[in-house]
Amino acid sequence: MSKKDIQDQITFLKADYIRIQGDLDKLEAAGGNIQNAEKQLARMEEELKDLNKQLASAEKE
């Protein structure tokens, strides 16, 4: 994967993360079940960590 592809994926994930976080806030305020949203955010955080590692490796090359 190229450096540009990794950066694009990071940008997309960050935007999706912000959207889900907003949904989570709304669910929490309404007293809804927030477990699925929290799990999704945790998974996305791990994916972002991995992508940032890949980006750091790509920048060294």
Distance CA 49, CA 14 (A): 12
Residue 53, domain extent: 3-60
What's the gap between Cα 53 and its chain centre? 14
* 40 burial via Cβ count (<10 Å: 0-12, 13-18, 19+): middle
pLDDT value for 1? 81
pLDDT per residue rounded down to tens, the chain (61 residues): 889 999 999 999 999 999 999 999 999 999 989 999 999 999 999 999 999 999 999 888 7
What's the pLDDT score for residue 57?
A: 92
Number of domains forming the structure of the chain: 1
Taking alpha carbons only, the member of 9, 11, 13 closest to residue 44 is 13
**Residue 54 has what pLDDT?**
95
pTM of the model: 0.85
